């Protein structure tokens, strides 16, 4: 099983496959119950894009496992980009994802503010101290 920053990237369970098949826009998830990363085989991403998703999910696991609660202002652009998603109703998950996507250089959470960029660098340094 491949690992990233100390977290296993595992195959989706039968139930997860069913859910992913109905939600191809969700490219992966951090599974907090078993501290693993699961990628959606139905999302049609390139290997590079899957790698970016895995980094994002590893960052979310790292923050949760290390009691890091990101607190920063979310821009209007970012709020708009997450409108209609589960993140719209979960501000903590939105902030974790913004930092995770910043870490993986995924532009889909909008332009990062200077504060967000600084937090991404702090997170990067903390995670690089772990196993890759």
Question: From first to last of its 132 residues, what are the pLDDT tens digits of the chain?
Answer: 789 999 999 999 999 999 999 999 899 999 999 999 999 999 999 999 999 999 999 999 999 999 999 999 999 999 999 999 889 999 999 999 999 999 999 999 999 999 999 999 999 999 988 444
Would you state the pLDDT for residue 132?
A: 43
CA quadruple 100, 49, 85, 32: dihedral sign: negative
- For 98, the 3-state DSSP assignment is helix
């Amino acid at each position: 099983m491949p690992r990233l920053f100390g977290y296993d990237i595992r195959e989706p369970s039968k139930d997860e496959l069913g859910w992913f098949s109905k939600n191809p826009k969700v490219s992966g998830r951090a599974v907090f119950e078993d501290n693993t990363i699961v990628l959606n085989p139905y999302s049609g991403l390139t290997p590079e894009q899957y790698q970016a998703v895995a980094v994002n999910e590893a960052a979310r696991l790292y923050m949760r496992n290390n009691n890091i609660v990101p607190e920063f202002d979310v821009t209007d652009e970012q709020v708009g980009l997450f409108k209609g998603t589960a993140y719209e109703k979960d501000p903590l998950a939105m902030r974790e994802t913004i930092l995770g996507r910043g870490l993986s250089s995924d532009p889909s959470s909008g332009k990062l503010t200077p504060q967000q960029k600084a937090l991404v660098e702090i997170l990067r340094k903390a995670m690089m101290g772990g196993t890759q």
